[in-house]
């Protein structure tokens, strides 16, 4: 062996010894604790010895791992893991939540008014008070005479239509129990301000709806004592549901052919005007509901209606000249009255009487129309609809006759009143 090779081997061996000694000294000061996790039921945990480090570069990493293991072991030593979960009783559907409602809490929600009159609050209301309350809170949607406005529900009329292809289902024609009317008004009306009415107001509104359906007279007072005296026309129109034992025919015999096609949405409710816009005055419609003062225009029609008599005006009226220009203006104003009154060929009684021949006719004598007792009394006394009386009636109906069925405030402008009267003269 050459002398140079021996020198290299000796140097290499010395280097290995020095590096090994330095590595051992560096690791001698590091303490690697044994990691153990205890459980409720302790079990020895075997910890595998960490492999011997290969170089100094791994030392910081192992040191961090050792510290994390120590922390985990310390935290785990305080954790108790139960071997079994606590039992939750499901007996009789009880889960240990809530409590039984107190009697006063149940009573606070118990607003139901039953068909036999049970749960009725103490109170009363007459037809004429109901007329005023209805005009203030309900007429904007349901019309002044409960005839409905635009697409809002009709509360009056429809008698005898239930067998028709397109029946009109109202309080007077369809609802079997008066308690349904009272309960719904008390619970849900007026729209947007539910349960704001007093019990007396609810009695009064219900009485007015009955009157609008010709079910009571104008002097009727509805109260918790007279409630069951009212008999609804369709009280016998419903049967007891016996489907616990026998299915109704339309369930037991499903349609198998020539059935109705799929339902399609053709228009939105907002377009159909079935939902009121907040703050909108629905009474501004020219044809169905002008502003309060203009709505009086309707009264024109109504007085006219009320005056509308088949007993045409005397000869003086028949021969009276007509201002056609003024009558043309009156035709425009009369549009406000058309929702309740008809004139011309084929005119019929609606919410108000037809008005053909009303000028000069005996008051309250249109055949087939039910007037208020006071209005009919004027006719029985021989009073007729002169131009002066019509003008006074159209100006302020309730000043002319306190218990008139006309709920409009009256026509404010005299020129409108005179124009309507002139227009009505064309139908003598």
Q: How far apart are CA 362 and CA 366, in angstroms?
A: 9
| Band (172; pLDDT cuts 50, 70, 90) | very high
37: number of Cβ within 10 Å: 14
Q: Which CATH architecture has domain 288-425?
A: Orthogonal Bundle (1.10)
Among 152, 197, 96, which Cα is nearest to 339's? Answer: 152
CB-based burial of residue 285 (10 Å sphere; 0-12 exposed, 13-18 middle, 19+ buried)? middle
Between 149 and 181, the higher pLDDT residue: 181
Q: How large is the average pLDDT for residues 351-372? A: 86
| Band (269; pLDDT cuts 50, 70, 90) | low
Whole-model pTM: value is 0.45
Between 378 and 28, the higher pLDDT residue: 378
The domains of the chain are located at 111-229, 288-425
Between 402 and 331, the higher pLDDT residue: 331
User: Comparing 111-229 with 288-425, is the CATH topology the same?
Assistant: yes
Q: How large is the average pLDDT for residues 208-213? A: 95
Q: 188-202, 220-234, 312-326, 341-355: which has the minimum mean pLDDT?
A: 312-326
**Residues 156, 172: contact at Cβ < 8 Å?**
yes
Percent of the chain with pLDDT over 90: 29
- For residue 8, pLDDT over 90 is answered with no
- For residue 160, pLDDT over 80 is answered with yes
Q: What is the DSSP letter of 237?
A: S
| Band (222; pLDDT cuts 50, 70, 90) | very high
- CATH class of the domain comprising 111-229: mainly alpha
Q: How large is the average pLDDT for residues 86-91? A: 53
Distances (CA, A) of 137 to 108, 131, 142, 143: 25, 10, 10, 11
Compute, in degrees rounded to 10, the torsion defined by CA atoms 180, 184, 190, 195. 130
Torsion sign across C-alpha atoms 118, 121, 126, 131: negative
**Residues 397, 408: contact at Cβ < 8 Å?**
yes
Q: 134-138, 267-271, 371-375, 415-419: which has the minimum mean pLDDT?
A: 267-271
What the block records as the tokens of 1 is 């062996």
Give me the residues paired with residue 125 across strands.
Answer: 222
């Amino acid at each position: 062996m050459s002398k140079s090779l021996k020198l290299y081997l000796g140097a290499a061996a010395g280097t290995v010894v020095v590096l090994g000694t330095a590595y051992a000294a560096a690791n001698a000061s590091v303490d690697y604790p044994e990691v153990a996790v205890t459980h409720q039921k302790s079990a020895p945990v075997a910890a595998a010895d960490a492999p011997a480090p290969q170089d100094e570069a791994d030392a910081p990493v192992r040191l961090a791992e050792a510290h994390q293991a120590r922390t985990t072991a310390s935290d785990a030593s305080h954790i108790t893991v139960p071997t079994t979960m606590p039992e939750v009783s499901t007996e009789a559907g009880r889960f240990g939540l809530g409590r039984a409602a107190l009697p006063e809490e149940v009573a606070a929600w118990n607003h139901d008014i039953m068909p036999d009159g049970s749960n009725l609050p103490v109170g009363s209301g007459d037809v004429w008070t109901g007329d005023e309350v209805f005009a203030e809170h309900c007429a904007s949607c349901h019309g002044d005479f409960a005839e409905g406005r635009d697409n809002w529900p009709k509360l009056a009329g429809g008698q005898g239509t239930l067998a028709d292809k397109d029946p009109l289902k109202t309080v007077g024609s369809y609802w079997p129990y008066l308690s349904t009317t009272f309960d719904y008004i008390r619970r849900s009306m007026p729209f947007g301000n539910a349960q704001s009415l007093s019990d007396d107001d609810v009695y009064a509104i219900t009485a007015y709806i009955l009157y609008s359906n010709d079910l009571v007279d104008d002097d009727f007072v509805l109260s918790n004592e007279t409630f069951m005296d009212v008999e609804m026309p369709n009280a016998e129109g419903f049967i007891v549901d016996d489907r616990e034992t026998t299915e109704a025919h339309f369930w037991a015999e499903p349609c198998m052919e020539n059935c109705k096609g799929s339902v399609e949405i053709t228009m939105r409710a907002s377009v159909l005007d079935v939902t009121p816009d907040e703050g909108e005055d629905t009474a501004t419609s020219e044809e169905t509901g002008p502003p309060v003062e203009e709505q009086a225009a309707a009264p024109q029609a109504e007085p006219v209606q009320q005056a509308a008599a088949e007993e045409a005006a005397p000869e003086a009226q028949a021969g009276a000249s007509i201002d056609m220009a003024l009558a043309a203006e009156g035709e425009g104003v009369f549009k406000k009255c058309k929702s309740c009154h008809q004139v011309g060929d084929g005119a019929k009684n609606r919410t108000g009487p037809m008005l053909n021949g009303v000028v000069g006719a005996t008051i309250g004598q249109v055949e087939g129309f039910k007037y208020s007792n006071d209005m009919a009394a004027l006719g029985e006394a021989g009073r007729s609809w002169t131009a002066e009386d019509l003008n006074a009636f159209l100006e302020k109906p309730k000043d002319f006759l306190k218990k008139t069925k006309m709920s409009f405030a009256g026509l404010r402008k005299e020129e409108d009143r005179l124009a309507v009267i002139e227009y009505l003269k064309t139908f003598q």
